[in-house]
A and B are shown apart, each in its own frame.
Chain A
Amino acid sequence: MTPTRTSPARRSFLASAALGGATIVGASALGALDADAAFAAPAPSLDPAVTRTSFAEGRIGAVKGSVLHVAGSRGETHRIQLTNATSVWKARPTTADAIEVGDGLYARGVEMPDGAIAADAVWVNIVNLYTTIRGIQRDRLHLSHGGHELVARTIPETAASYAGGALTSDLSRLRIGQPAQVLGAWRPADNSIDLVRVTVGH
């Protein structure tokens, strides 16, 4: 991330955070508010002081202030520190207010001296699944994934890509029996997903 992309609020946070200098710069360089744009930039922007990012995944067991307490899928625990600079995705770019206990999470950031991860990005409930379309309704797709049935509900942002083409809101060309890559947000309450993007081939 270039200096011009850093918001005043973010600079303020980074300036006041009680962290080591290299760690602060590293968290900034990882992309924060617009992670997609940061990684699509033509030149590397990672701070040399940061040799590697940290990653965590699991289910959110508690939200205490700006810290997410996460139970990892392999039995480990994580503390994820959110900041004003953390980008949050939950079916769409959103804010920390949208994060709920019980949600699943992937987080990327920098490990702090106390073991917590200062997150530059968290993706809440995100899934990216190879499926087959088994049924099509106006407001949902019925999919099979690994032998399991899965309901994908359309949302205002739902888009499709056909045979490598650009994204479109037109879902009328989807066909039963097609292999489909679906990117969406899992809904823990009913085990369905909110469908963000469906990609099908020829």
Chain B
Amino acid sequence: MACSSNALWAGETTWFCCGAAWGPCGSAGGGACGNCASAANHGAWPNASQACWDITRPDLCGEGGIPRRGCGSVMNVTHQCSGATVCITITDCGPRTRSFCGEQSCCGGSCRINRVLDLTPAAFTAIGSLDSGVLPVLITE
């Protein structure tokens, strides 16, 4: 599969670490799919499986329609203001949307509400800065 331009979702992305890593990330492991790596353009999707959905529960934040996309799915993630884009592969389950309902990330006078995606450091830095923690993004496939 290849990344494409069909609209999938929009929201907030944060970042996380996985796979071989330093510091507190050293115990993160390979994620739900087993092959997640901080240095690769990977991501975590809140509906990677039913078991994943039961943990993330984006529906509790009003994001009930997020479709199932399992391990190996690919999607384009675009910063809603800069247009910077990265093509990622889903290798983990996340983020825990339900723990942060209503959180928003804004730029250019427009905000995206609720975290619906987690990116590895490699993917996140392709479209933004790690110290921002969150970014508003458009997701296509």
Contact = CB atoms under 8 A, between A and B. Distances in A.
Are both chains from one complex?
Answer: yes
Interface of A: 31, 35-36, 38-46, 52-53, 55-59, 72-74, 89, 104, 106, 108, 121, 123, 125-130, 145-148, 150, 161, 163-164, 179, 181, 183, 186, 188, 191, 193, 196-197, 199-202
Interface residues of B, number: 47
B84 A179 contact: no
Contacts of B98: 201
**9 A-B pairs with the lowest CB-CB distances in the bound complex, closest first:** A44-B83, A104-B22, A164-B102, A73-B20, A186-B23, A179-B99, A35-B129, A108-B125, A55-B122
Contact of B102 (A127, A128, A202): A202
A186 B26 CA distance: 12
Given A73-B22, A128-B16, A183 B102 contact: no
22 contacts: A36-B131, A41-B81, A42-B82, A42-B108, A55-B122, A57-B122, A89-B129, A89-B131, A121-B125, A123-B131, A128-B16, A129-B25, A130-B99, A145-B24, A163-B101, A163-B102, A183-B133, A186-B24, A188-B23, A191-B23, A200-B100, A202-B101
